Amino acid sequence: MSPTRFPPHFAKTDHRQRSLNQMRSKQLGLEKYIYLNGLKGRDSDLFYDILLENMQEMIPILYTPTVGDACVNYSHIWRRPEGLYVSIEDKGRIRDVLASWPNFNDGRIAVVTDGSRILGLGDLGANGLPISLGKLDLYIAGAGIKPSSTVPICLDLGTNTQRYLDDPLYIGVRRPRPLGPEMDEFMDEFMEAMKEVFPTLLVQFEDFSTDNAFKYLERYRHQYRVFNDDIQGTGSVILSGFTNAARLSSAASGLPPSDQKILFFGAGSAGIGVAKQLLSFFTLSGMSPEEARSRIYTVDSKGLITANRKGLQEHKKFFARTDYDGPALTDLVDIINHVKPTALLGLSTIRNAFTEKVVKAMCALNPRPIMFPLSNPVALCELDYKDAIEWSSGQVIFASGSPYKPVSHDGVVYEPGQGNNMYIFPGIGLGSILSRTRHVSDAMVEQAAIALANSLTEEENAAELVYPRLARIRDISAQVAFAVIRQAQKEKLDDNAYLRTLPDSDLLGLIHDKMWQPPALQLRSFTRL
């Protein structure tokens, strides 16, 4: 190959702007994703540099909604190895596979998916890797974790999605998913090997199908440094936004925030994870756990979940109603009229399930109903923001899982919230890493939620936002990490005595100082040439 050289005047030009222009010139979200991924491979410092400056624009590409398209099509858009695949065929030698990761001594945070429930898109098998990559980009951009400390992992265990098994380009192992003991043995070996190879690393379980999400969180949470983002991260982020939303709703109704009654549409890992975390919304205000539970109702594909239903899955039993034994209630408007909720949360993957009738039924019961359609990506969201504002004349207090743009109605501009675990997991990770906590406790997750709820500025509160603006994510992650560290210390789960000696302002300062920054472009290779 002939020698190459940068054009001599290249360093005088704005390569950041050039890269942004190239990304912006692509029409489709997926094309932008492919471009940005290529850029990350060529020059990761530049990639993170422009990501930090353009969060609002780039996060919806690298994360939900576009990462969903990237996952669905990953076998076809694959360019280069980007993460670590651990295959069911590696059973017996998983330790060696993990040890092949470059700089494994640096590993501090792994996002691990088995691809079995990517966003609301179902079993995508080995195509699930981009979700781990996207979450880790948020750790890097949002919490300043060093890129070399992040380990994206996809467990390649097979898939039950026939169209992938039939696709000649599918990059995963072609077999159905393992069941019961075969899966348990794999997971036990994997977790043990993770601890051996990456002794100080935090594992984030991501997008496992609901049964396995609950099962492996319980199996490992007291043994390893692990948390489940969909159950705990989502629970925490919604507790936070809900606390702020209830304050706004109370101001309109004149009723105390603890008068809220919450209806969950969708009772999977996310729905039940959030419902359990929202118990604290009531208990923190002095309510008994039993009373708190009575204020939560859950709905699945068969309707209102009642205790008398035959064959109810284990994770649905806790919130199953014992106060209704009439005919099954399956229509959402009927359920709303029966329950009379103040809040309706969607984690069902059913697009447009919150119809005009549903919105109007909620508005008839409350001056400012809370409506959080949280399913991802946008194509599976229960309610579009524009419809929510139009059908309620701006009454609803809204947060969705994926981003929506502000909406103008009757001369007023309304801003949606984004109720997504991206506001929480980077701070939980950073706090856990810095304090070297042995486990991620329920109280740490709860304190993270409270810190996020309190992180809104005066301006954000005045604009009636329920979540802070994304551009401040590093500041927010620092506040979340601070709360996590202090809680770890309180429970004596931490292993960093120095942090205990620091007064609050110094600890917050240290958290900010520890955040990785992409090296300034001028100081990098271009000027050397």
The residues annotated with a catalytic role in the active site are 63, 135
Residue nearest to ligand CC(=O)C(=O)O (CB): 376
Assess contact for 480 and 428: CB atoms under 8 A.
yes
Beta-carbon contacts of residue 268 (< 8 Å; ≥ 6 apart): 117, 210, 347
Question: Of the candidates 137, 156, 229, 494, which one interacts with ligand CC(=O)C(=O)O according to CB under 6 A?
Answer: 229
**The tokens of 235 are what?**
């629970």
Among positions 169-228, residues that touch ligand CC(=O)C(=O)O (CB under 6 A) are 207
Chain residues 86-145 in contact with ligand CC(=O)C(=O)O, contact rule CB under 6 A:
119
Tokens of 22: 């190239």
Q: How many residues bind ligand CC(=O)C(=O)O (CB under 6 A)?
A: 9
Contacts of 461 (CB under 8 A, 6+ apart): none
Which of 36, 194, 380, 483 forms a contact with ligand NAI (CB under 6 A)? 380
Residue 266 touches ligand NAI, criterion: CB under 6 A: yes
Per the structure block, which two tokens stand in for 490? 């309180």
Q: What is the dihedral of CA 194, 75, 419, 517, to 10 degrees?
A: 60
Please state, in angstroms and rounded to a whole number, the distance separating the CA atoms of residues 229 and 273: 10
What's the CA gap between 295 and 287, in Å, rounded?
11
Is the distance from CB of 279 to CB of 319 less than 8 angstroms?
Answer: no
Rounded to 10 degrees, the C-alpha dihedral 91/96/98/104 comes to 170
CA distances from 308 to 120, 182, 304 (A): 28, 33, 11
Give min distance, CB of 155 to ligand CC(=O)C(=O)O, in A. 16
Does residue 207 belong to the site contacting Mg ion (CB under 5 A)? yes
Q: How far is the CB of 260 from Mg ion (least distance, A)?
A: 25
CA atoms within 13 A on the CB side of 21: 5
Site string for ligand CC(=O)C(=O)O, 39-78 (x = CB under 6 A): -------------------------x--------------
Integer Cα distance of 265 and 346 in angstroms? 5
How many residues bind ligand NAI (CB under 6 A)? The answer is 29
Helix (H) or strand (E) holding 359, with range, is helix 356-365
The 324-363 contact track toward ligand NAI, x by CB under 6 A, reads -----------------------xxxx-------------
Q: Does 228 bind ligand NAI (CB under 6 A)?
A: no
Say if residues 107 and 198 touch (Cβ distance below 8 Å).
yes
Taking CB under 6 A as the binding criterion, the range among 166-174, 244-252, 278-286, 369-377 that sits at the site for ligand NAI is 369-377
Of 409-468, binders to ligand NAI (CB under 6 A) are 419-421
Choose between 38 and 122: whose C-beta lies nearer to Mg ion: 122
- The binding track of 241-280 with respect to ligand CC(=O)C(=O)O, each residue x by CB under 6 A or -, is ----------------------------------------
Quote the radius of gyration of the chain (alpha carbons, Å).
23
Q: How many CA atoms lie within 13 A of 451 on its CB side?
A: 27
Which is nearer to ligand NAI, 21 or 301 (by Cβ)? 301
* Amino acid, single-letter form, for residue 9: H
Binding-site residues for a divalent metal cation, please? 206-207, 230
Token duo for residue 436: 């070297």
Least separation in angstroms between CB 446 and ligand NAI: 17
- Given the rule CB under 6 A, which residues bind ligand NAI? 117, 119-120, 210, 230, 234, 237, 265-271, 299-301, 347-350, 374-376, 380, 401, 419-421
- Given the rule CB under 6 A, which residues bind ligand CC(=O)C(=O)O? 64, 119, 207, 229-230, 376, 401, 420-421
